[in-house]
Protein backbone atom coordinates (compact mmCIF):
# COMPACT_ATOMS: atom_id res chain seq x y z
CA UNK A 1 0.00 0.00 0.00
CA UNK A 2 1.51 3.36 -1.03
CA UNK A 3 1.63 6.52 1.08
CA UNK A 4 -1.00 8.20 -1.14
CA UNK A 5 -3.61 5.49 -0.81
CA UNK A 6 -3.05 4.80 2.88
CA UNK A 7 -5.88 6.30 5.01
CA UNK A 8 -7.56 7.68 1.90
CA UNK A 9 -10.82 8.19 3.82
CA UNK A 10 -9.16 10.60 6.24
CA UNK A 11 -7.45 12.46 3.40
CA UNK A 12 -10.75 12.81 1.55
CA UNK A 13 -12.42 14.04 4.75
CA UNK A 14 -9.64 16.61 5.30
CA UNK A 15 -10.04 17.84 1.72
CA UNK A 16 -13.81 18.23 2.19
CA UNK A 17 -13.39 20.11 5.48
CA UNK A 18 -10.82 22.46 3.96
CA UNK A 19 -13.12 23.23 1.01
CA UNK A 20 -16.05 24.01 3.33
CA UNK A 21 -13.79 26.26 5.42
CA UNK A 22 -12.55 28.08 2.30
CA UNK A 23 -16.13 28.71 1.11
CA UNK A 24 -17.08 30.00 4.58
CA UNK A 25 -14.17 32.44 4.72
CA UNK A 26 -14.77 33.74 1.19
CA UNK A 27 -18.49 34.36 1.75
CA UNK A 28 -18.36 35.78 5.28
CA UNK A 29 -15.53 38.27 4.83
CA UNK A 30 -16.60 41.91 4.92
CA UNK A 31 -15.34 44.28 2.28
CA UNK A 32 -15.79 47.80 0.89
CA UNK A 33 -16.61 48.79 -2.68
CA UNK A 34 -16.88 52.18 -4.38
CA UNK A 35 -19.50 52.29 -7.12
CA UNK A 36 -21.08 54.97 -9.27
CA UNK A 37 -24.80 55.31 -8.50
CA UNK A 38 -27.12 57.05 -10.99
CA UNK A 39 -28.86 60.13 -9.62
CA UNK A 40 -32.66 60.08 -9.80
CA UNK A 41 -34.69 63.23 -9.14
CA UNK A 42 -38.17 62.80 -7.62
CA UNK A 43 -40.84 65.30 -6.75
CA UNK A 44 -39.91 68.05 -9.19
CA UNK A 45 -42.54 70.74 -8.55
CA UNK A 46 -45.16 71.31 -11.24
CA UNK A 47 -44.12 74.03 -13.67
CA UNK A 48 -40.39 73.60 -12.94
CA UNK A 49 -37.63 71.62 -14.57
CA UNK A 50 -33.92 71.14 -14.02
CA UNK A 51 -31.97 73.50 -16.25
CA UNK A 52 -28.24 73.75 -16.84
CA UNK A 53 -25.68 71.19 -15.81
CA UNK A 54 -26.74 68.40 -13.53
CA UNK A 55 -24.68 65.49 -12.22
CA UNK A 56 -25.64 62.11 -13.62
CA UNK A 57 -24.29 60.09 -10.71
CA UNK A 58 -22.56 60.11 -7.33
CA UNK A 59 -19.84 57.83 -6.01
CA UNK A 60 -21.00 55.61 -3.16
CA UNK A 61 -18.79 53.62 -0.79
CA UNK A 62 -20.55 50.42 0.23
CA UNK A 63 -19.77 47.94 3.01
CA UNK A 64 -20.98 44.36 3.15
CA UNK A 65 -20.15 40.72 2.57
CA UNK A 66 -17.60 40.29 -0.18
CA UNK A 67 -19.77 37.81 -2.07
CA UNK A 68 -22.76 40.17 -2.02
CA UNK A 69 -20.69 43.12 -3.24
CA UNK A 70 -19.12 41.09 -6.06
CA UNK A 71 -22.58 40.14 -7.37
CA UNK A 72 -23.83 43.71 -7.09
CA UNK A 73 -24.70 45.28 -10.44
CA UNK A 74 -24.79 49.00 -11.21
CA UNK A 75 -28.56 48.78 -11.68
CA UNK A 76 -29.07 47.73 -8.03
CA UNK A 77 -27.68 50.95 -6.48
CA UNK A 78 -29.45 54.29 -7.02
CA UNK A 79 -29.30 57.74 -5.42
CA UNK A 80 -32.76 59.24 -5.10
CA UNK A 81 -33.17 62.96 -4.31
CA UNK A 82 -36.56 64.47 -3.50
CA UNK A 83 -37.17 68.00 -4.81
CA UNK A 84 -40.66 68.37 -3.30
CA UNK A 85 -41.17 71.91 -2.04
CA UNK A 86 -38.21 73.36 -3.94
CA UNK A 87 -38.57 76.79 -5.51
CA UNK A 88 -37.23 78.16 -8.79
CA UNK A 89 -33.56 79.11 -8.73
CA UNK A 90 -30.39 77.46 -7.52
CA UNK A 91 -30.91 74.63 -5.05
CA UNK A 92 -28.19 72.84 -3.07
CA UNK A 93 -29.24 69.50 -1.67
CA UNK A 94 -27.42 67.10 0.62
CA UNK A 95 -27.10 63.52 -0.54
CA UNK A 96 -27.42 61.37 2.57
CA UNK A 97 -26.64 57.65 2.87
CA UNK A 98 -30.35 57.08 3.60
CA UNK A 99 -31.17 58.35 0.09
CA UNK A 100 -29.11 55.60 -1.55
CA UNK A 101 -31.10 52.51 -2.50
CA UNK A 102 -29.04 49.35 -1.86
CA UNK A 103 -29.88 45.65 -1.49
CA UNK A 104 -30.39 44.15 1.99
CA UNK A 105 -27.16 43.45 3.85
CA UNK A 106 -25.27 46.31 2.20
CA UNK A 107 -24.51 49.52 4.10
CA UNK A 108 -23.70 52.94 2.62
CA UNK A 109 -20.56 54.33 4.25
CA UNK A 110 -19.98 57.53 2.27
CA UNK A 111 -21.42 59.52 -0.64
CA UNK A 112 -19.23 61.73 -2.83
CA UNK A 113 -20.13 64.49 -3.53
CA UNK A 114 -22.27 64.88 -0.44
CA UNK A 115 -23.99 67.95 -1.90
CA UNK A 116 -25.57 68.42 -5.32
CA UNK A 117 -26.27 71.82 -6.86
CA UNK A 118 -29.17 72.10 -9.29
CA UNK A 119 -30.88 74.99 -11.04
CA UNK A 120 -34.67 74.85 -11.30
CA UNK A 121 -36.34 76.99 -13.94
CA UNK A 122 -39.79 77.27 -15.40
CA UNK A 123 -40.85 74.45 -17.69
CA UNK A 124 -41.27 75.41 -21.32
CA UNK A 125 -44.46 74.30 -23.00
> Is residue 114 within 8 Å of 59, Cβ to Cβ?
no
User: Average of pLDDT values for 46-65?
Assistant: 90
CB atoms within 10 A of CB 118: 21
pLDDT digits 0-9 by tens, 72-98: 877 889 999 999 888 889 999 999 999
Confidence category of residue 1, pLDDT binned at 50, 70, 90: low
% of the chain surpassing 90 pLDDT: 50
> Is residue 86 within 8 Å of 40, Cβ to Cβ?
no
Question: In what helix (H) or strand (E) does residue 97 lie, and over which residues does it extend?
Answer: none
Confidence category of residue 31, pLDDT binned at 50, 70, 90: confident
* Domain locations in the chain as residue ranges: 29-122
CB atoms within 10 A of CB 111: 20
Determine whether domain 29-122 maps to CATH 3.10.20.30.
no
Q: In whole numbers, what is the pLDDT of the chain averaged over residues?
A: 88
Checking if the pLDDT of 4 tops 90, the result is: no
Say what the pTM is.
Answer: 0.71
Distance CA 26, CA 92 (A): 42
Amino acid sequence: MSALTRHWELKLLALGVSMVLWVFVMTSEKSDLIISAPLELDGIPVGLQVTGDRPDSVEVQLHGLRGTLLRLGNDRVKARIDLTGSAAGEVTLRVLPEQIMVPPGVTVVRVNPSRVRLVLGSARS
